[in-house]
């Protein structure tokens, strides 16, 4: 297979940002380019740092805000390559350091190019199954769900569940397990064994609603490797492979993807000690992590779920914590929409990319 990591200027220039940019602008740049790197430059085009998804996630864990300057999360001493290096030298450096992007700089350290890895390689085939929770009744979406299971509602010309499978397949995932209950026969009739998509599809059939984790107790043959669990009604640009790699790197038993959710108090807050006023805060913003509906679970966690026992994911995580097992959060920033209400469905249909 021919590997060519060089990019035309119109592509790598889309990865450039000034050092005055914010973390939010860096995220937007990552989303636009799709190259998984931002190169931070000064006014003269000199490279001062790089930024990847991992740098941003580590910053979010530390409490860095999206409005903060990008230099608070960027990597200040990245590996670089000179323009005269051939591909053998470039690939040797990338393999040795396990990196997927390598800026090209001249003698003055001005950015003149970018070598990438992923864009020119066939995705690694992954044996890890993806379990898709698709059994809910979608009562908040009626009348749309009166005769159609919620994950089968179309967005940009395709059922949401089909979009989940196709996006995951692009990352090398080939084994899917769909948990079904409400109007589950419609899902089975549409997807069958998955051969139409060149993937393997199996089913966990709930006789009654078992919650967001209970269907995992229906496995006849348990997975032998960590598996991904995702809700079937999510519209997102999220990469499941990054969640899996994060889980494996941290050697966790269960990992939950989380998003930062902000709420603004509409009033000025008066801070008091007894009857004394000690300060004011005008319309403060509170921030918390919310469950994004995507997880990685090790097979051993299935010991804590009984067959046909209702169980939600937060309950499973708490059971693992009670056993002192390692459960971690994966902070995500990608576009994400949980389609639970009619206005969410309208947003998804207006904002989702067209079907491939």
Asked if pLDDT for residue 73 goes beyond 60, the answer is yes
Cβ-proximal residues to 139 (8 Å cutoff; 6+ apart), any chain: 145
Instruction: Using the 3D structure, point to which of 120, 152, 170 is the last residue of a domain.
Output: 120
Q: What is the pLDDT of residue 132?
A: 95
Known catalytic residues?
283
Please write the tens of the pLDDT for every residue from 293-320.
899 999 999 999 999 999 999 999 999 9
Q: Are residues 98 and 198 in the same domain?
A: no
In a shared domain, residues 300 and 271 = yes
Query: Which of 90, 120, 150 lies at the terminal end of a domain, its last residue?
Result: 120
**DSSP letter assigned to residue 124:** P
Tokens representing residue 261 in the block: 């959710």
Kindly state whether residues 46 and 116 are assigned to the same domain. yes
Q: Does residue 107 share a domain with residue 146?
A: no
Measuring CA to CA, which residue among 75, 132, 129, 139 is closest to residue 298?
A: 129
CATH code of 158's domain = 3.90.550.10
Q: How far apart are CA 285 and CA 333, in angstroms?
A: 18
Within this chain, do residues 167 and 104 fall inside the same structural domain, yes or no?
A: no
- Are 39 and 103 contacting, i.e. CB atoms less than 8 angstroms apart? yes
| Inside any domain, residue 148 | yes
Q: How far is Cα 154 from Cα 15, in angstroms, rounded to an integer? A: 33
Q: Is residue 201 part of a domain?
A: yes
Q: For residue range 227-276, what is the model confidence (pLDDT) as tens digits?
A: 999 988 877 778 898 899 899 989 999 999 998 777 777 888 888 888 77
- Rounded-to-integer distance, Cα 107 and Cα 3, Å: 26
The pLDDT value given to residue 256: 95
User: Looking at the 3D structure of the chain, how many domains does it have?
Assistant: 2
Q: What residues make up the domain containing 113?
A: 9-120
Query: Nearest to residue 5, comparing CAs of 84, 112, 113?
Result: 113
């Amino acid at each position: 297979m021919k590997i060519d990591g060089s990019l035309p200027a119109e592509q790598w220039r889309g990865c450039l940002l000034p050092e005055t940019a914010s973390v939010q602008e860096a995220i937007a740049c990552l989303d636009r380019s799709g190259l998984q790197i931002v190169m931070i430059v000064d006014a003269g085009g000199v490279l001062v740092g790089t930024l990847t998804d991992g740098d941003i996630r580590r910053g979010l864990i530390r409490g860095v805000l999206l409005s903060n300057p990008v230099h608070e999360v960027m990597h200040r001493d990245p590996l670089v390559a000179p323009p005269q290096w051939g591909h053998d030298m470039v690939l040797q450096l990338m393999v040795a350091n396990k990196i997927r992007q390598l800026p090209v700089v001249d003698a003055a350290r001005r950015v003149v190019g970018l070598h990438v890895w992923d864009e020119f390689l066939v995705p690694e085939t992954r044996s890890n199954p993806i379990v898709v929770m698709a059994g809910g009744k979608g009562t908040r979406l009626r009348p749309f769900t009166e005769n159609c299971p919620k994950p089968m509602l179309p967005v940009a010309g395709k059922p949401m569940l089909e979009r989940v499978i196709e996006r995951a397949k692009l990352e090398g995932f080939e084994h899917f397990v769909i948990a079904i209950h409400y109007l589950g026969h419609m899902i089975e009739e549409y997807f069958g064994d998955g051969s139409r998509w060149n993937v393997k599809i199996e089913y966990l059939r709930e006789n009654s609603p078992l919650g967001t984790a209970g269907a995992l107790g229906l496995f006849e043959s348990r997975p032998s490797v960590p598996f991904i669990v995702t809700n079937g009604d999510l519209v997102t640009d999220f990469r499941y492979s990054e969640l899996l790699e994060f889980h494996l790197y941290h050697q966790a038993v269960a990992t939950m993807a989380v998003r930062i959710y902000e709420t603004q108090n509409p009033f000025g807050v008066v801070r008091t000690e007894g009857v004394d006023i000690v300060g004011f805060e005008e319309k403060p913003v509170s921030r918390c992590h919310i469950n994004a509906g995507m997880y990685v679970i090790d097979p051993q966690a299935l010991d804590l779920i009984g067959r046909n026992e209702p169980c939600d994911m937060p309950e499973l995580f708490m059971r693992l914590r009670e056993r002192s097992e390692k459960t971690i959060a994966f902070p995500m920033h990608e576009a994400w929409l949980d389609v639970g209400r009619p206005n969410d469905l309208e947003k998804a249909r207006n904002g989702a990319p067209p079907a491939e």
